[in-house]
Chains A and B, each alone.
Chain A
Amino acid sequence: AQTVTQSQPEMSVQEAETVTLSCTYDTSESDYYLFWYKQPPSRQMILVIRQEAYKQQNATENRFSVNFQKAAKSFSLKISDSQLGDAAMYFCAYRSPSNNAGNMLTFGGGTRLMVKP
């Protein structure tokens, strides 16, 4: 079974600064997907960014980018130019390839990001 670990329960960043959220995972599979989800207070969880394990290039989405280290099983999220609206819980998640029976997401415990004005 896969496990996902987020070692930072809380992080804080000054508005306009950069912050990196950590995630490590454990798997015996060679192909998989990794995701970062954002869950604002009392609001729905939304996808921030995804990474396919077979791709060497790190994914980027505007101010969000990842540092994917497959050998180290590490998948960190970097948020540049932090904005007040970035304040939320962030979850790292793992998914097996679609041809496997298990299509669910396995989530880490989350990191609460606070943004200071």
Chain B
Amino acid sequence: GAGVSQSPRYKVAKRGQDVALRCDPISGHVSLFWYQQALGQGPEFLTYFQNEAQLDKSGLPSDRFFAERPEGSVSTLKIQRTQQEDSAVYLCASRRGRSSYEQYFGPGTRLTVT
């Protein structure tokens, strides 16, 4: 079956531009996560959805970051007024249910802010 997909795979934005990153989780997966992975580092948690509810957004670095999952499936991570420090790979992961073990990761979107 299809895995987690993300689009675009690569995004170059000028500083100050807004960007929107899309995640298509595995069909039927209830839980969805966003992570930020800086170059040469491990992923860091940004936010978590259970269905359409955003249960944890404690990892969002500033109010320029906003995520939504309005119908409990596709999710969008939006970054307003991008800054150079936002350059990173943004990973999306989905999980079948709250008690499931495995998170399935997408290929990521590499964002470069110039």
Pick from A50, A102, A107: contact of B44, CB under 8 Å: A107
A94 to B65, CA, bound (A): 25
Q: Judging by beta carbons under 8 Å apart, are B3 and A44 in contact?
A: yes
Give the Cβ gap from A91 to chain B, nearest Cβ, in Å: 5
B42 at the interface (CB under 8 A from A): yes
Which one of A4, A44, A98, A107 has the highest number of Cβ atoms from chain B below 10 Å of its Cβ?
Answer: A44
Question: Judging by beta carbons under 8 Å apart, are A47 and B45 in contact?
Answer: no
A-B contacts, CB under 8 A, total: 55
A14 at the interface (CB under 8 A from B): no
- Which residues 2-54 of B have a CB within 8 angstroms of A? 3-4, 31, 33, 35, 40-45, 48
Q: Given A103-B98, A104-B59, are A45 and B91 neighbors across the interface (CB < 8 Å)?
A: yes
Given A91-B42, A110-B42, A45 and B105 touching (CB < 8 A)?
Answer: yes
Report A-chain residues with C-beta under 8 Å of the C-beta of B103.
47, 105
Residue of A nearest to B33 (CB): A104
A/B interface sample: 8 pairs, CB < 8 A: A44-B107, A45-B43, A45-B91, A98-B98, A103-B31, A103-B48, A109-B42, A110-B41
Known: A33-B101, A107-B44. 15 other contacts (CB 8 A): A37-B105, A44-B105, A44-B106, A44-B107, A44-B108, A47-B102, A101-B55, A102-B56, A103-B55, A103-B98, A104-B33, A104-B35, A105-B33, A109-B41, A110-B42
